[in-house]
Structure 1
Amino acid sequence: MARQAKHFDTRFNKSLLHPRYWGTWLAIAVLFLFGVLPASIRDPIARLLARVVMKVAKKPMNIARVNISHCFPELSGDEVERLVKYNVRMFVLVLLSQAELLIRSKAHIKRRMQLNGFEHVKAARDAGQPIIFIMPHVWPMEYAGLRINMEIPLVTMAKAHRNGLFNWFSNRMRSSQGGRVYMREAGIRALLAELKKDNSFFYLPDEDLGPNKSVFTPFLGTVKATLPVVGRLAQAGNAQVMPVKIGYDEQAKQFVMTVMPPIDPQDMVGKENEALALNKVVEQVISAYPEQYMWFLKLLKTRPPGEQEFY
């Protein structure tokens, strides 16, 4: 039997009012409150709250130290520590602003974002091609997805969370501009089907999905297990592959987003070449705003045979 594509149901269900979700509702209410505040008030509060997070988020911060130390071996211990603390600050700052994506107007969101390089998107769409947008796990990635979805049809894929209310809230936000969010169980076939329907999507190539079918490829100051599937997807779906970088400018109080030129399909011929091309793109995006990458992820969990584990 053919596997059916699954997507998150963002319709409200009375079961989300169960007492076990009351704590989550309180957290959402707080996020809504911050979502309506102007950035000039919200950002200073976020910086203060970041100090509290640094005192309690010991495990994620240790993972970040390991990642940064291996990815940037040229940094001193003090420089690593500064980047970790800056990273936590940006996490809190972006987190407290995200509710605006659901409750504020399109005009407001567009004012909050500076969009560069959209001519590459327009050229691909004029040529009748969908786009696979490449973006690693950065704190403002939800902003990037919704901003593009305001211009063209878009789908995405996300991992389900144990908390049903959080699933509903986060995926309602992600689909608020008419997009669809697939569960991971839907697999690559669902994404290919969307490409053939002329729908574009974001693909996050930096997550460590284990050794199965992955290729060990240079990545910043180390090597990383990378799953090379984008090239074949693009070819099968007649799509262009475009990297996207985004970061929050604290002075301008704007998210600066840039769609980069498409990757040459010839650079993704063969698994090793594709893995190298993807890692180079991820390096470019991270290097643009290194303090805004999700360093707490175990992105270097899978190591080459014989090499000691990092975590």
Structure 2
Amino acid sequence: MSQSKSKKRKRVRDTNFAHYRHPRWWPTWLTIGLIWLLARLPLRVQWGVGRLIGELAYRTLASRRHICRVNIDLCFPELSDRDREALVRRTFHSNGIGIMEISLAWFRNPETLRHLTQVHGLEYVDEALKKGKGILLLGGHYSTLDLGGSLVSLFIDADVMQRDHNNPLMNAVMTRSREQRYGVALNSKDLRGLFKRLRANRIVWYAADQDYGRKGIVFAPFFGVPAASITATARIAERSDCVVIPFSHFRRDNGIGYDIYFHPPLEAFPSGDDEADAARVNAAIESEVRKHPDQYLWMHRRFKTRPSRDDPGFYARKRP
């Protein structure tokens, strides 16, 4: 590896703000300042602004709208064309609110939202911790991703795995804010750190619901569609002997507030059958997505990798 690449990799995880005084970082600081100001807005105002952002994105981001529409057409064939398009639009609104909620997650004490947050199934976490094996929280990419994690920290002491931001300063702010809520923010590729935390009887937030290509995968159904599904979840559980607990976090549809759900641990997991284990993971996530389907990240090309390289892709846009 060249020296320049080595320095760049180290800089990504540099969380010392004093190292970002150079004028080249000023535009990023202005963006961070705006995010900080947004955190001061009342929650209802944030939700309203978020819907406007989502509506603007729905109208202007044709490629993302197409990906979202393809995913929803594949996963909800039982809905009418009109209802599926309405779900696409609501998905953009929900993810617009999620963008606004990043400011809350990074710059507001979650205690200010405790009275608006209800947790369900916390007893499953308490019982699992008594076994002393560590807990892998099986989450998903919901639009409440950042804020949900911040609110979870009100009820449990956990660590998180994250994909580091490409902008080193933005990553420093994100990492420091998360480590104020969680114990440790692990890089998503830091498996050694993950095993170390699990063996110390820690709780670690983990998501396995995206398409990462053909390496280390099997194909398992997700909403009835064969989806490239990583086997890492089963490998982690096998090597660490941890407990795997599905969980989710959603914005309420019928009023201002949030709900966090912990579910019974996956029994006899892993089973030794990679496809069966991946199917169980996908089914657990699918069950949660169906509660609030608009609050899922349908803009991601979840079905990009097909079972056969000769299979036509789903996301090619038809020319008029």
TM-score, structure 2 normalization: 0.87
For the structure 1 residues 109 and 45, does the alpha-carbon distance in structure 2 shift closer, same or farther, using more than 3 Å as the test? same
- Count residues with an aligned counterpart: 305
State whether residues 238 and 270 of structure 2, in contact with CA within 8 Å, keep that contact through their aligned partners in structure 1: no
Cα distance in structure 2, aligned partners of 1:238 and 1:216: 24
Partner of 1:262: 265
Secondary structure, counterpart of 2:304 in structure 1: coil
Structure-1 residue corresponding to 2:221: 218
- The separation in 2 between residues aligned to 1:219 and 1:298, in whole angstroms, is 13
Identify if the C-alpha distance between structure 1 residues 175 and 232 changes in structure 2 by more than 3 Å, giving closer, same or farther: same
Structure 2 distance, partners of 1:268, 1:148, is 29
Counting aligned pairs with the same residue, the percent is 26
Distance 1:7 1:251 in 2: 44
Contact 1:10 1:171 in 2 (8 A): no
Query: What is the CA–CA distance in structure 2 between the aligned matches of 1:248 and 1:191, rounded to whole Å?
Result: 29
Structure 2 equivalent of residue 96 of structure 1: 100
Over 3 Å counting, the alpha-carbon distance change for 1:204 and 1:268 in structure 2 is farther
Q: Deviations over 1:229-267 (max 9, x none)?
A: 223322332311111122111442111111111111256
Q: Distance in 1 between matches of 2:221 and 2:239?
A: 27
Q: Which residues in structure 2 correspond to 1:62-77 (within 5 Å)? A: 62-77=66-81
Decide which of 166, 172, 175 is 2:176's aligned counterpart.
172
Whether 2:254 is the aligned partner of 1:247: answer: no
**Alignment equivalent of 2:58, drawn from 6, 31, 54:** 54
Q: Which residue of 2 aligns with 1:131?
A: 135
Equivalent pair of 1:245/1:288 in contact (CA under 8 Å): no
Unaligned runs of 5+ in 1: 1-5
Closer/same/farther in 2, CA of residues 28 and 268 from structure 1, 3 Å limit: farther
SS in 1 for 2:290: helix
Partner of 1:87: 91
Is the alpha carbon distance of 1:9 and 1:211 closer, same or farther for their aligned partners in structure 2, counting shifts above 3 Å?
Answer: closer
Structure 1 residues 30 and 251, CA gap change in structure 2 (3 angstroms): farther
CA RMSD of aligned residues (A): 2.2
**In 1, Cα distance between equivalents of 2:139 and 2:17:** 32
Verify: 1:300 aligned to 2:303, yes or no.
Answer: yes
Residue equivalent to 1:237: 240
1: CA distance, partners of 2:292 / 2:12: 31
Q: How far did residue 204 of structure 1 move?
A: 0.8
When residues 63 and 107 of structure 1 are mapped into structure 2, their CA distance, relative to the original with a 3 A threshold, is same
Residue 318 of structure 2 corresponds to which residue in structure 1?
Answer: none
Q: What is the rounded CA distance, in whole Å, between the counterparts of 2:66 and 2:82 in structure 1?
A: 14
What is residue 160 of structure 1 aligned with on the other side?
Answer: 164
Return closer, same or farther for 1:291/1:116 CA change in 2, 3 Å cut-off: same
Q: CA deviation at 1:120?
A: 0.6
8 Å CA contact retained: 1:156, 1:202: yes
Q: CA 1:58–1:238 in structure 2 vs 1: closer, same or farther (change >3 Å)?
A: same
For the 8 Å contact 2:106–2:174, the answer to whether it is kept is no
State whether residues 54 and 96 of structure 2, in contact with CA within 8 Å, keep that contact through their aligned partners in structure 1: yes
The one-letter amino acid of 2:287's match is Q
Judged with a 3 Å threshold, the aligned counterparts in structure 2 of structure 1 residues 97 and 144 are, in CA distance, closer, same or farther, namely closer
For the 8 Å contact 2:270–2:277, the answer to whether it is kept is: yes
Matched residue SS, 2:152: helix
TM-score using structure 1 length: 0.89
Report how far residue 105 of structure 1 moved. 2.7
Matched, 1:23 2:27: yes
Preserved contact between residue 71 and residue 222 of structure 1 (Cα < 8 Å): yes
Deviations 1:54-94 (A, max 9, x none): 23222211111111111222233322221111011111112
Which secondary structure does the structure 2 equivalent of 1:51 belong to? Answer: helix
Measured after TM superposition, the shift of residue 141 of structure 1 is: 2.0
Q: What is the CA distance between 1:145 and its match in structure 2?
A: 2.5
Could you tell me whether the CA contact under 8 Å between 2:119 and 2:259 is conserved in 1?
Answer: yes
Q: What CA distance in whole angstroms lies between the structure 2 residues aligned with 1:179 and 1:30?
A: 27
